[in-house]
Amino acid sequence: MSDLLLPASSSSSSTTNLSGSNQPNQPRNHKRHKTTHPPPSSLPSVIPHEQHERHLQLRTLVSTDISNGRERFPIPCVNDIDKERAPKFKYILRPVPRSQSVALALSSCEHTKCNCREGDCNNPRNCACAFDNQTHSHMPRDHTLTYIDVPVIRECSTLCPCHSGRCPNRVVGNGICVQLEVFKTQNCGWGVRAAQDIPQNTFIAEYSGEILSHDEAEARKSTSGKDGNDSYFLETETLDELHRRFPADGSPGEDFDTKYVLDAKRFGNVARFFNGSCSPNVRKEKVIDRNSEAYPVRLAFYAKREIKKGEELCWNYEYNKTTQRGSLDHHLTCYCGALNCQGVLY
């Protein structure tokens, strides 16, 4: 399997129709979790790499592009705070299995795919990936979200025969289509800010990392040394787990450890730098592109409101904030600076 990385190297079920109206990089510990592609006409013009680098020389540039050319637009990294260099990690575009056992388990998952040939994947009578209007949630015109608070957004995948460029049902699958910049913050480590205005409900990035089994995640968390922490862990449910956690009939769901966890510490993308905030401008949605009950969902970040160029992108880490600052149970202080800041992450 080409995506294999060998060892060597929450959502409510109710829907809402939209009318358009920092703490250091530490995604939530998986054990604590209870819970656009805009059309070509609206894409910002691509800045030639040479012109882009000359522009950035006026600032404290530590990397011209952390993605090493893998993303549509370069993602520069700047540090005007101290002498720290750009963090070292392997940039990947989407989650990949960490071990052969996980890769084999995922490759054996039963799944469905569409039979569309011309890229017309909006009609649920013709497209197996668009059978539900509420889960087929992107506007055909600008690919912004139509619904929020759906259990999962369904997309076509690389396994589908439809045209990858013309299919309107590949927003997250087509990758980042907005310009972003990594920068060193004053109090919250590295962060990400918008390098262009981002309309409300626009897809920004998905959380990419190694897909670990629960046992692999527990082993990695307890390991001493540079790999021995869960700072970049983010749990991801399968469709079966989502159904158990959020029953369609509204009854109380089950509480359990998820089967898979994403770890973006060694392998990840720009989303690993998103900081947390008590007043976030970004929200996390769950996306499935294989219609498999046993395959982990993809975690995608969208603009919660209109985001202006230069604004830092932050989301709610969803920690259980049951402690008070200064208490014996207090672990992490929140430095987001929001007016409604609760002072602690958990």
235 phi/psi in degrees, rounded to 5: -75, 150
Is residue 250 one of the residues assigned to a domain?
yes
Find the radius of gyration of the CA atoms of the chain: 20
The pairing of beta strand 180-184 with beta strand 77-78? parallel
Is residue 341 one of the residues assigned to a domain?
no
pLDDT at residue 110 greater than cutoff 90:
no
pLDDT at residue 29 greater than cutoff 90:
no
Short-list 119, 144, 120, 149, CA closest to 134: 149
Q: What is the pLDDT of residue 260?
A: 94
What distance in Å separates the CA atoms of residue 331 and residue 283, rounded to the nearest whole number?
A: 24
Residue pair 169/291 in contact (Cβ under 8 Å)? The answer is no
325: number of Cβ within 10 Å: 10
Identify which has the larger pLDDT, 319 or 212: 212
pLDDT band of 59, cuts 50, 70, 90: low
Number of compact structural domains in the chain: 1
Place of tokens 């626009």: 202
Is residue 208 one of the residues assigned to a domain?
yes
Mean pLDDT of 17-25: 45
Answer yes or no: pTM beyond 0.85: no
Is residue 343 one of the residues assigned to a domain?
no
Contact partners, residue 325, CB within 8 Å, separation at least 6 = 333, 343, 344
What distance in Å separates the CA atoms of residue 213 and residue 219, rounded to the nearest whole number?
A: 10
Which amino acid belongs to residue 15? T
Is residue 338 one of the residues assigned to a domain?
no
Residue 24's alpha-carbon distances to 142, 166, 185, 271, 328, in angstroms, are 33, 39, 9, 13, 21
With pLDDT > 70 as the criterion, what percentage of the chain qualifies? 74
Residue ranges of the alpha helices (H) in the chain?
A: 49-56, 100-107, 214-221, 239-245
With pLDDT > 90 as the criterion, what percentage of the chain qualifies? 38
Q: What is the pLDDT of residue 8?
A: 40
69: number of Cβ within 10 Å: 10
Short-list 32, 67, 87, 24, CA closest to 226: 87
CATH number, domain with residue 136:
2.170.270.10
Is residue 66 one of the residues assigned to a domain?
yes
Is residue 73 one of the residues assigned to a domain?
yes
The total number of residues shown for the chain amounts to: 346
Is residue 331 one of the residues assigned to a domain?
no
pLDDT in tens, 125-174: 778 787 666 566 777 778 888 877 777 888 888 888 888 888 888 899 88
**Domain coverage including residue 156:** 1-318
What distance in Å separates the CA atoms of residue 346 and residue 342, rounded to the nearest whole number?
A: 10
